[in-house]
Chains A and B, each alone.
Chain A
Amino acid sequence: MSTDQVDRGGGSSRGSAADFAFARLWSVLGPLIGLGLITGFFAFLTRDSGTFLQLATWRLIVVQTVVLGIAALGMTLVMISGGIDLAVGSTVALVTVVVTLAVRDLHFPVALAIVAGIALGGLCGFINGSLITLLRVMPFIITLGGLKIYRGGAKWLADNGSVYVPAAAKAPWMSHVLAPDPEPSWLVVAPGVWTLVVFGAIVAFLLRYSILGRRMYAVGSNEATARLCGINVSKLKVLVYTIAGLLTGLAGVMQFLDLGGSGDPTTADGLELQVIASVVIGGGSLSGGEGTAAGTLIGCLLISVLNNGCVHAGIPNASQDVIIGAIIIVAVTLDRLRRAREGV
């Protein structure tokens, strides 16, 4: 018995294995090409001064990517599993305040306060995930609530102003973590950047080579299928939001260091939108099931290059926003066109 008669017409000719391999390559290659084009564009705009392609500029750009990048790695996990987290910016602000107060008022050593800050981020994520699964309310709404609550909490704790770690309590290494010119110099880039790279590699590995990672894609792609295959979807979501929260906590710690060891309840306002933009530019999808760590990091770098390039080229702040907005639309549109061509 044969099925030679079957499937000759409609179905199976689309999307050969080669196409599919290309599609996967393209998901990282696309953002990379975008990054190259934008870099070239700013190098051209600033060709008279020639400063844009200097090592010093890039050391700064990568340092400016650290907070965004670490938070975006967490968001990548959340979005792959079909969720979203709008509370990222508020969580970062809350963490800067709590770390500072832990040192100032509770006399924690800085290192311990940092651990507490990361744990606080994890707790915020755990709360988000638990509410989403227990109340069965859309992640958009729950984390929108979180956005206001965590921000409000930060303002309340800090009494509406910035708070500072006393000079005496500061550790000498605090200023090195995000220093564009690192010590020792063989590090080439700041330790904070290396932290980002290491976590990027961990997330990439998790997504590709762990059961948990494959399950995140499955839940984001089709929850019902995941359930059918024995995955405890609620548990997995809580876990994903918690891991993402830990990463957001780490991003908050980096922001605390970037602020020179202080907490600011108004900092990182709107960070979540930049984070979501990075994930989307990097091939993630708001409907879940897609995204990679590498793509996200390229997306983050692209946004940093834009921010920095605009400063170099003397483009005003307002235009920067317009350009970033346009790039998000172009990136996602190109992605959709590619999919339509593949018949996905």
Chain B
Amino acid sequence: MTEPLLAIRDVHKAFGANRALAGVTLDLYAGEAHALVGENGAGKSTLMKILSGAHRPDRGSMTLDGDPFVPRNPREARRQGIAMIYQELALAPHLSVEANVMLGQERTARGLVLRREHNQLVRSALRELDHAEIDPQTKVYRLSPGGMQIVEIARALVSNARVVILDEPTSSLSGRDAERLFAVLDRLRGRGLAIVYISHFLEEVERVADRVTVIRDGATVLTGMMESLTTHDIIHAMIGREPEDLFPAIASEPGEVVLETIELAGMILPKRVNLNLRRGEVLGIAGLVGAGRTELLRAIFGLDKVRSGSIKVAGIAASRGLPSDRIAQGIGLLSEDRKNEGLALNLSIEDNLTLTALHRHVRRGILNLKDRRSEASRRLMELNVKAAGPKQAINALSGGNQQKIAFARLLHQDADVLLLDEPTRGIDVGAKAEIYRLIRELARRGKAVLMVSSYLPELLGVCDRLAVMRKGVLGETRPIEAWTEHEIMSQATLESK
């Protein structure tokens, strides 16, 4: 093999007593797509920050094209050809595509911006990415999430980047946009760029990457060609143990129907949904992003308006309702968007955990803070949350622990019917396993769970029954044994027969 374009050798980095990186080694070759996987907290983001110049390594070496590479700040990293595309896109929504691409790399003559050259550069970059349909003058906020990502990649192209690093690029994309993104990445690879692809979705990694590097606890534990490794090998390397117990086999006994929707329709989505949810079961809803699954949960919970149809809770008609009514009826919703909706990030754990059912800690009109704190502490122990204590701010926690707090709020509320929207999005495998166990455990205790997920293995591993939603229409509900991944995908994507 030729010399690597970017070579990272035994890089160490500590923040105080906390060793974030303890020996990461990674070789990146021109023209390859290299997946970087690891649990949250394994050190991926620290490594990215070092590559982008936000942090400097304590020990170890990095070379770019054979020359020592130690960027002192993000500008320098970018100038040397490293382009970072973060999960949360760094675009100015009210500026045009062209202005966003050229931001910070304007071509000027005598202090004036060369508009025509900008336009040509942006057009040719978009053409090269096979997205010539994007008009450079469109305001970025009008684009789909997938289009926005293309703008970021176009920016990297115009800056003559040699290494493009993408952090969880599909987290906000629909299936089709994701496919187009993968095609774009193939093109970049063809042009001799090196791609670092960070993702939690191993299926995606298999689709995109030639090689994979797994890091755990800040060190490289596995590097290899994608085709010579199995999913099992990769998961095993990520979590350092056998993945068999990811989906616990906890049986539950289905009881009476607690939630029923009859021809329920939202303002746009969903369309005329009929479903029955029983105590002691987990009912899964699969489908593509944008199929209306989230809207269904929100309509049931009273967060979105209902156009027509009705809802019965425990056999009693309860069609119109605000979230507060639903909560009183024993329904709880776990939001798909933990950061923007699920949690108030700068409030404490105890504030977040108890917000729905604060009244439980009120004695004679006065909030009993001690009582609230001790209950919050108990919940933290129950869910094995890694936190300093109930007074800690939420934003100091990792994604998995944050999600456990959002879950703990439903438990604190004592919900009988749990509407879970992407309950394991953006959390690591260890925390996922705990959440699966918790969901099964809740079903065993007679709770009813309605779960939306885009991750088919977890739907198949956790649910008792499953239905597929496509363009707002919910298909037939069948026992989980009757489904395969292939069957689900074909129902989700194909026109109904």
Q: Which residues of A contact B (CB under 8 A)?
A: 1, 3, 5-21, 24, 208-211, 213-215, 217-218, 221-222, 224-232, 289-290, 342-344
**Do the beta carbons of B342 and A228 come within 8 Å of each other?**
yes
Partner of A9, one of B217, B365, B366, B395: B217
- Cα A11 to Cα B400 in complex, Å, equals 10
Listed by A's residue number, 24 A-B pairs whose Cβ atoms lie within 8 Å are: A1-B437, A3-B430, A5-B216, A5-B239, A5-B430, A6-B41, A6-B428, A9-B20, A10-B46, A11-B397, A11-B399, A12-B401, A15-B392, A16-B392, A20-B391, A210-B365, A221-B345, A225-B342, A225-B343, A225-B355, A226-B355, A230-B327, A230-B328, A344-B396
Within the complex, the shortest CB–CB distance from A340 to chain B, in Å, comes to 13
Shortest beta-carbon distance from B404 to chain A in Å: 10
Report if A7-B434 is in contact (Cβ < 8 Å); known contacts: A17-B389, A209-B366. no
Segment from B93-101, B125-133, B150-158, B318-326 that makes contact with A:
B318-326
What residues of B have a CB within 8 angstroms of the CB of A218 in the complex?
A: 344, 347, 351, 355
User: Which of A5, A20, A226 is the one whose CB lies under 8 Å from B348?
Assistant: A20
- Cβ-defined contact, B396 with A1, below 8 A: no
Give the residue name and chain of the A residue nearest to B356 (CB). A229
Contact A11:B40 (CB < 8 A) given known A20-B388, A210-B366, A232-B322 = yes
Determine which of A9, A20, A224, A344 lies in contact with B46 in the assembled complex, contact meaning CB atoms within 8 Å: A9
Question: Which residue of A3, A15, A210, A226 has the most chain B CB atoms within 10 A of its CB atom?
Answer: A3
Contacts of A227 in B (CB 8 A): 303, 323
Residues of B within 8 A of A (CB): 15-21, 39-43, 45-46, 216-218, 239-241, 245, 303, 322-324, 326-328, 333, 335, 337, 340-348, 351-352, 355-356, 358-359, 362, 365-367, 369, 384, 386-389, 391-393, 395-401, 409, 428, 430-431, 433-434, 437
Taking CB atoms, residues of chain A closer than 8 Å to B303 are: 227-228
Question: 4 new A-B pairs (CB below 8 Å) besides A9-B19, A10-B20, A21-B391?
Answer: A7-B401, A12-B401, A15-B388, A228-B335
Q: Is the CB of A7 within 8 A of B398?
A: yes
Q: Tell me which residues across on chain B come within 8 A of A229, comparing CB atoms.
A: 323, 327, 355-356, 409
B6 to chain A: closest CB distance in Å?
21
Q: Is the CB of B355 within 8 A of A7?
A: no
Contacts A211-B362, A214-B355 given: A5-B39 contact, CB under 8 Å? Answer: yes
Q: Taking A1-B434, A9-B18, A17-B388 as contacts, is the C-beta distance between A289 and B347 under 8 angstroms?
A: yes
Q: Which of B245, B343, B433 contacts A222 (CB 8 A)?
A: B343
Q: Which residue of A lies closest to B20 (CB)?
A: A9
> Complex formed: what's the CA distance from A226 to B399 in Å?
20
Inside 8 A of B356's CB, which chain A residues have their CB? 229-230
Closest 5 CB pairs of A and B: A11-B398, A15-B396, A17-B389, A230-B324, A221-B344
Q: Beyond A217-B347, A227-B323, is A16–B388 a contact (Cβ under 8 Å)?
A: yes
Kindly report which residue of chain B lies nearest to residue A211, judged by CB atoms. Answer: B358
Summarize B's interface: helix, strand, loop or mixed. mixed
Contact between B18 and A13, CB atoms less than 8 A apart: yes
The interface residues of chain B lying within 8 Å CB-to-CB of A342 are: 396
Measured between C-beta atoms, what is the minimum distance from B249 to chain A in Å? 13
Q: How far is the CA of A226 from the CA of B352 in the complex (A)?
A: 10
In the assembled complex, the Cα of A225 lies from the Cα of B394 at a distance in Å of 13
Q: In the bound complex, do residue A289 and residue B369 qualify as a contact, i.e. CB atoms below 8 Å apart?
A: no
Contact in complex: A12, B367 (CB < 8 Å): no
What CA separation (Å) do A24 and B340 show in the bound complex? Answer: 24
Chain B residues near A19: list those with CB within 8 A.
388
Q: Which residues does chain A contribute within 8 Å of B43, judged by CB atoms? A: 9-10
- Distance in Å: Cβ of B105 to nearest Cβ of chain A: 28
B369: min CB distance to chain A, Å: 7
Whether A11 pairs with B396 at a CB distance below 8 angstroms is yes
* Contact, CB under 8 Å: B367 / A17: no
Pairwise interchain contact A5-B398, C-beta atoms closer than 8 A: no
Q: How far is the CA of A101 from the CA of B15 in the complex (A)?
A: 66
Q: Nearest A residue to B384 by beta-carbon distance? A: A3
- A214 in contact with B358 (CB, 8 Å): yes
CA distance in complex: A158, B340 (Å): 48
Task: Please report the C-alpha to C-alpha distance between residue A227 and residue B342 in the assembled complex, in whole angstroms.
Answer: 10
Residue of A nearest to B22 (CB): A9
Q: Hey, which chain A residues are within 8 Å of B393, CB to CB?
A: 15, 20, 344
The listed residue (B15, B359, B391, B399) touching A17 by CB distance below 8 A is B391
Known: A1-B245, A218-B344, A225-B341. A7 touches B386 (CB 8 A): yes
A12 to B394, alpha carbons, bound, how many Å? 10
Could you say which of B15, B45, B217, B337 contacts A8, with CB atoms under 8 Å apart? B217
Residue in B245, B328, B430 whose beta carbon sits within 8 Å of that of A6 in the complex: B430
CA separation between A342 and B394, bound complex, in Å?
12
A8 to B41, CA, bound (A): 6
Chain A positions within 8 Å of B398 at CB level:
6-7, 10-12
- Bound complex: CA of A8 vs CA of B367, how far in Å? 35
By beta carbon, the residue of chain A nearest B325 is A230
What residues on B are CB-neighbors of A17 within 8 Å? 388-389, 391-392
The interface residues of chain B lying within 8 Å CB-to-CB of A1 are: 245, 433-434, 437
Q: CA A215 – CA B395 in complex, angstroms?
A: 19
Residue of A nearest to B43 (CB): A9
In angstroms, Cα B365 to Cα A133, docked, is 27
B395: chain A residues at CB < 8 Å are 343-344
In the assembled complex, the Cα of A261 lies from the Cα of B433 at a distance in Å of 71
